[in-house]
Amino acid sequence: GLFDAVHRIEDPHPRSKLDCLGRSRFDRTLFLDADTLVLGPLGDLFDVLDRFELALAHDVRRATELIRENAGAPTPYAFPQLNSGVLLYRRSPRMRAFFAEWARRFVESGGTRDQPVLKAMLWEGDLRFWVLPPEFNLRRVTLLDAWEPGDALPTILHSHRLMDHMRGGAPRISDPVALVEAERAALEAEWKAVGGRDPDPFRRFLGRRI
């Protein structure tokens, strides 16, 4: 099969991954959410852990209340939530303690999203972490339409479209080209929902404060 070992999750819940992260038997682990797609070799990605204990990418939609939600003291806009769908980390007592505290505080918060707690812990603590460039957790797949040839190499795509077949019977997407097409359609629907695109790309944002 694809896996050397499969571990049954006891007492599963929507954020069971928090209970599992600290149990990795590997010295260096790359955790991936189920709605990710790896496009090619990871290169020297794991070498980041020579200097840092944890690596992850910023979340998108930083101007929404959902992503600005806090589970501790408010943080600056320039310290947003980080996306927990792609996590690169070392195995160490310090990281196991971090994951255990994350799980504990998530339950204590009574919320449904783990990222506000993660943001608070990274802001309050002294864990050495690195923010990965977006190509290692490409949540906004339509960025590919804006990139110039030398900008980046898309490596890990992360899209809810990859799970649509489990929600409403839509066809399963496993091809990157089909995924980009689905994301383009979703992007147009998002703009249509707020009145459509504006020929002036900045006018919609004038007067808004970070």
Give the start-end residues of each E strand in 33-78.
36-38, 54-56
Per residue in 116-132, pLDDT (tens digit) is 999 999 999 999 999 99
Query: Bridge partners of 60?
Result: none
Under DSSP, the state recorded for 125 is S
Nearest-angstrom CA–CA distance, 67 and 75: 12
Enclosing domain of residue 27: 17-136
69 and 26 together in one domain: yes
Share of the chain above pLDDT 70, in %: 99
Structure confidence by residue, pLDDT tens digits, 3-49: 888 888 888 777 789 999 999 999 999 999 999 999 999 999 999 99
pLDDT at position 1 is 66
Specify which residues 56 forms β-bridges with. Answer: 131
| Cα 101 to Cα 117: distance, rounded to the nearest angstrom | 10
Return the CATH number at 127: 3.90.550.10
Domain count for the chain: 2
Cα separation of 62 and 133, whole Å?
Answer: 16
- 57 and 31 part of one domain: yes
- Give me the amino acid identity at 109: S
Indicate if 128 and 170 belong to the same structural domain.
Answer: no
Pairwise CA distance, residues 5 & 195, whole Å: 50
| Residue 28 belongs to a domain | yes
- pTM for this prediction: 0.91
> Could you read off the pLDDT of 55-105 as tens digits, one per residue?
999 999 887 777 677 787 889 999 999 999 999 999 999 999 999 999 999
